[in-house]
Structure 1
Amino acid sequence: MTNPEILQIRCQDNYILSANYYSASTDAPQQPYPVLLCPATGITKGFYHSFAEWLSLQGFNVLSFDFRGIGESLYGPVSKSTASISQWGQLDIPAAQKVLLEKTHSDKIILLGHSAGGQLLGINPDYQQVAKVIAVSGSTGHIKGLKGQTRIMAPIFFKLVFPAARYTIGYGPTKAVGMGENLPKDVAREWAQFCSKPGYVMNAIGKTVTEHYHDQITVPVTALWSTDDEIATEANVKDLLRLYPNAETRMIELKPETYNHKSIGHMLMFRKSHQNLWNVIKDQLTV
């Protein structure tokens, strides 16, 4: 087992993020670009440890981190956090990119994002430092494109639970229902806003986001999604990829039965139980 190097990343607004850095194993062929592993909404970097460790053994330098307001990048009660998803894309990811480039002396990184972590390139002012995007379970999460139980529960959380919780307990209570860490109130608010209509972060343009770069992005963007994912459904994955009209986009559909799994869903691709999927992800990390 590899012990990652613990880093602190200072963002442009002086917010400090907690990060783990995994050096590429010298026993494997060295990969040309380092990998920035960006987490899903409410998910901590620890969730990705086994995968990041494995990826380093394949010759990749890997940096994972906690978004502001989440995990070890939360300081004080979550009810006091002013973090937002917009800040994740505009401040946190660029800061993590910068540190990874400095540590590896590379000119570009590969952005490997899980769910929200792979959906924010269009508001990243340093998008030109990204050689390729791999969006695992990446989609817009549009509520009308959801499936199964999630299609029922999402509107309840977005329209009732989050607004009420904002003014009572002061945060989005997602931990109690197994949806990762509790969310800062503005993360919960933006999550609901982004998923209320097609286009995800485009719904924040002119509100919490003043500039976006979707039309300027020309690097490959690949989305990996599972047929049993209730959030990143085929319709919602297509909705995300259409935001990059000048990029080479690709969808890779995964069927659980093909890999001898009962389920893959939205979260399981990074679990050790699903390690036979990791090579599928790794195969996309070349430019």
Structure 2
Amino acid sequence: MSNIENKTIICQDGYSLAANFYKAEIETDKLPVLLCPATGIIKEFYQSFALWLCKQGYDVLCFDFRGIGQSLHGKLKDSTASIQDWGQLDIPAAIDMLLTLTQKDQVILVGHSAGGQLLGIVPNYQKVAKVLAVSGSSGHKKGLKGRTKILAPVMFKVIFPIARVIKGYGPTKAVGMGENLPKDVAKQWAEFCNKPGYIANAIGKTVFEDFHQDIHCPITAIWSSDDEIATEVNVKDLLRLYPNATTSMFELNPEKLGHKAIGHMLMFRKSHQDIWPLLEQHIAA
């Protein structure tokens, strides 16, 4: 497709990330959109949504976090990627790349799950005009529900520790949760979801720059009522980390929207494209 360009993002530590840049089909003065993926989800998952945003007049950049998809260099077991790297190095570099490509001053960050949970450790957070955290929450284990409430403790306490020793990575493909994860990503995911606050659990331990208090941009969390991870209580747990930002919550109801399910992932599928105008309303607001 002619309006998709392959890009390479170079992070501050020299690590390279694979990205796709989607050029708007019409000229507008809208701010560009940075699509930040969920844990273990590759950039191609968001392509249909990104192309739709292009038709609405947005330039869009989507990338693979280090250790995931085309941003994995070498064997997965040798990857040293961590979730804090995603927030401190990958997202900042992606922001700067998008601003260079579009010659704008700020971006709109549309983050899916983990992609919308890390702004508080992003050093160039001032370049973000607003955040749309889709399925964004702290993922705290006590706030989970359904099958995930049962699966998560087994994955975090049994599967990940054993696989770290035997395989050298987190085998999330086996449980249908995206690409297999670098071992430290899997470890931190388990640690961050073990207590309220997600990335806040790393502050003062492995993360020493905390910008949560400094962030004032609007943050809107959108989640579905049938999401077993981003439940209402876990969404609130994420938003409380930004006491000086203007935060809001918007719930998607599958039945009211004519779908059997939306959950944690389906709002980005073409089968659910009737939801995209709702997302865009919050992007444009």
2:22 is aligned with 1:22: yes
- Distance change (3 Å), C-alpha of 1:275 and 1:31: farther
3-state SS, counterpart of residue 217 of structure 2? coil
Aligned equivalent of 1:174, options 172, 175, 188:
172
Aligned partners of 2:120 and 2:210 also within 8 Å: yes
**Structure 2 partner of 1:196:** 194
Correspondences of 1:34-113 after superposition (within 5 Å):
34-113=32-111
What is the alpha-carbon distance in structure 1 between the residues aligned to residue 226 and residue 220 of structure 2? 18
Aligned partners of 1:2 and 1:53 also within 8 Å: no
Given the two structures, how large is their TM-score scaled by the length of structure 1?
0.98
What is the alpha-carbon distance in structure 2 between the residues aligned to residue 172 and residue 25 of structure 1? 39
5+ residue gaps, structure 1, are: none
3-state SS, counterpart of residue 256 of structure 2? helix
Aligned equivalent of 1:149, options 147, 163, 172:
147
Aligned equivalent of 1:276, options 274, 277, 280:
274
Give the AA of the match of 2:15: Y
Stretches of 4+ aligned residues off by more than 3 angstroms: none
3-state SS, counterpart of residue 243 of structure 1? coil
3-state SS, counterpart of residue 141 of structure 1? coil
Q: Shift in Å at residue 177 of structure 1?
A: 1.7
3-state SS, counterpart of residue 257 of structure 1? coil
What is the alpha-carbon distance in structure 2 between the residues aligned to residue 177 and residue 229 of structure 1? 17
Give the AA of the match of 1:20: N
Aligned partners of 2:30 and 2:57 also within 8 Å: no
3-state SS, counterpart of residue 249 of structure 2? strand
Aligned equivalent of 1:127, options 125, 128, 144:
125
Q: Shift in Å at residue 3 of structure 1?
A: 4.9
3-state SS, counterpart of residue 7 of structure 2? strand
What is the alpha-carbon distance in structure 2 between the residues aligned to residue 138 and residue 162 of structure 1? 23
Aligned residues: 285
Could you give the per-residue CA deviations for residues 77-135 of structure 1, whole angstroms, max 9, x where no partner exists? Answer: 11110000000000000000001001101000000000000000000000000000000
Aligned partners of 1:38 and 1:118 also within 8 Å: yes
**Structure 1 partner of 2:240:** 242
Could you give the per-residue CA deviations for residues 11-42 of structure 1, whole angstroms, max 9, x where no partner exists? Answer: 0000000000000112xx61420000000000
3-state SS, counterpart of residue 99 of structure 1? helix
**Structure 2 partner of 1:33:** 31
Aligned partners of 2:36 and 2:116 also within 8 Å: yes
**Structure 2 partner of 1:207:** 205
Aligned partners of 1:115 and 1:136 also within 8 Å: yes
Percent identity among equivalent residues?
66
- Distance change (3 Å), C-alpha of 1:30 and 1:91: same
